[in-house]
C-alpha cells in the first residue's frame, strides 16, 4: 500500500454554502468531495492546494485560510491501494459560478459537475459525501467557528 499526503479546500461562501465536486471513479459509486488532491514531492501544502484548485476550478486568487480538518483513509485508485492523509483548508470567498468541466484533462475524466450545497440539503441528501459526516463538521465552519487545531473528521 502506497502512502500519500493530500490537501483539500473547503470553499465556503457568505451564503453559508460549500462547493463540492461530484466525481465518478471506477472503484466507487458517484461521490461528492471537496476540490484538492495529492501533494507533489517538491510542494508544500499551500503550493499544492493552489495547483490543485487551478487544475480543478481555473486560475483565481485563492484566499487560503487555516487548516481546519484532517483525515486518513484507504482506497483503491486505478488498481492501486492507497493510504491517504488529507489536510483540509478553509477558503472563504464570494460565491462564483464554477466551471462546467475541470481544466485538467486527467481529472476531468472523473468529473461530473460542481454544486453549491447548503447544510440542510447536505444533511437531507442520500448522496455519498467525503468525508462521510461533512454536514456535521461544517456547522461550526459556516457559522464562523474555526478550530484552533485541525479536527479529525474520520472517514
Residues 6+ apart with CB under 8 A from 128: 28, 29, 30, 31, 32
Q: What is the pTM of this model?
A: 0.94
pLDDT in tens, 10-60: 999 999 999 999 999 887 889 999 999 999 999 999 999 999 999 999 877
Amino acid at each position: 500500500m502506497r502512502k500519500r499526503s493530500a490537501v483539500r479546500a473547503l470553499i465556503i461562501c457568505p451564503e453559508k454554502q460549500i462547493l463540492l465536486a461530484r466525481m465518478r471513479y471506477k472503484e466507487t459509486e458517484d461521490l461528492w468531495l471537496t476540490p484538492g488532491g495529492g501533494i507533489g514531492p517538491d510542494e508544500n501544502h499551500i503550493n499544492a492546494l493552489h495547483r490543485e484548485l487551478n487544475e480543478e476550478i481555473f486560475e483565481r486568487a485563492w484566499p487560503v485560510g487555516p487548516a481546519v480538518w484532517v483525515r486518513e483513509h484507504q482506497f483503491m485508485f486505478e488498481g492501486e491501494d492507497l493510504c491517504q492523509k488529507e489536510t483540509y483548508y478553509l477558503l472563504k470567498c464570494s460565491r462564483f459560478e464554477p466551471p462546467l468541466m475541470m481544466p485538467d484533462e486527467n481529472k476531468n475524466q472523473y468529473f461530473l459537475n460542481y454544486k453549491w450545497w447548503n447544510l440542510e440539503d447536505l444533511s437531507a441528501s442520500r448522496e455519498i459525501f467525503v468525508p462521510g459526516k461533512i454536514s456535521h463538521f461544517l456547522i461550526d465552519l459556516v457559522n464562523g467557528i474555526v478550530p484552533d487545531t485541525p479536527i479529525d473528521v474520520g472517514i
